[in-house]
Chains A and B, each alone.
Chain A
Amino acid sequence: MTDTVTREQLDARYLGRPGARVFSLSFQPRDAARGQVLYLPPFAEEMNRCRALASAQARQFAMAGYGCTLMDYCGTGDSEGQFEDVTLEDWLGNIDEVVEDIHQRHGQAPVLWGIRSGCLLAGLYASSASHPIPGLLLLQPVASGKRFVRQLVRQRIAAGVERGSGQISSDEIHRLWEDGQSLEIGGYSPSGALMLALEQLELTAFKLPDLPLLWLEHVNEGQVEPGLATAQALAALRAAGVRPELHCFSGPAIWQLNERAATPELLQLLKELYPL
Chain B
Amino acid sequence: MDTLALTRSILKTNLQLDEAAHFDRDVALLGALPEFNSLTITSILATIEDETGCEIHDDEISADIFESVGTLVDFIDEKLA
Q: Which residues of A contact B (CB under 8 A)?
A: 45, 151, 153-159, 161-162, 164, 167, 169-170, 186, 220, 227-229, 252-253, 256-259
Complex Cα spacing A162 to B59, Å: 15
Partner of B38, one of A162, A169, A228, A258: A162
| With A162-B37, A162-B41 as contacts: A170 and B58 at CB distance below 8 Å | yes
Closest to B30 in A: A162
Closest beta carbon of chain B to A263's beta carbon, Å? 14
- Chain B residues with Cβ below 8 Å from A252 are 16
| Distance between Cα atoms of A256 and B42 in the complex (Å) | 11
CB distance from B15 to the nearest CB of A (A): 11
B30 touches A154 (CB 8 A): no
A190 to chain B, nearest CB (A): 16
Q: In the complex the two chains form, is A257's CB within 8 Å of B41's CB? A: no
- Measured between C-beta atoms, what is the minimum distance from A271 to chain B in Å? 25
Interface size on B, residues (CB 8 A): 22
Q: Using a CB–CB distance below 8 Å, which chain B residues touch chain A? A: 13-14, 16, 30, 36-39, 41-43, 45-46, 50-51, 53, 58-59, 61-63, 66
Residue of A157, A159, A164, A229 ringed by the most chain B CB atoms within 10 A: A157
Closest chain A residue to B14 by CB distance? A256
- The residue on A at minimum CB distance from B43 is A256
Contact B58 A157 (CB under 8 A): yes
Which 3 A-B residue pairs are closest in the complex by CB-CB distance? A159-B38, A158-B41, A158-B38
A220: chain B residues at CB < 8 Å are 13
Q: Is there an interface contact between B45 and A154, defined as CB atoms closer than 8 Å?
A: yes
One of A154, A170, A229 near B50 (C-beta < 8 A): A229
Residue on A nearest B56 in the bound complex, by CB: A154
Which residues of chain A come closer than 8 Å to B13, judged between CB atoms? 220, 253
**Contact in complex: A161, B61 (CB < 8 Å):** yes
21 residue pairs of the A-B complex, CB under 8 angstroms, read A151-B42, A153-B58, A154-B41, A154-B45, A155-B38, A157-B58, A157-B61, A158-B41, A158-B42, A158-B61, A159-B38, A161-B66, A162-B41, A162-B63, A164-B63, A227-B50, A227-B51, A252-B16, A253-B13, A256-B14, A256-B39
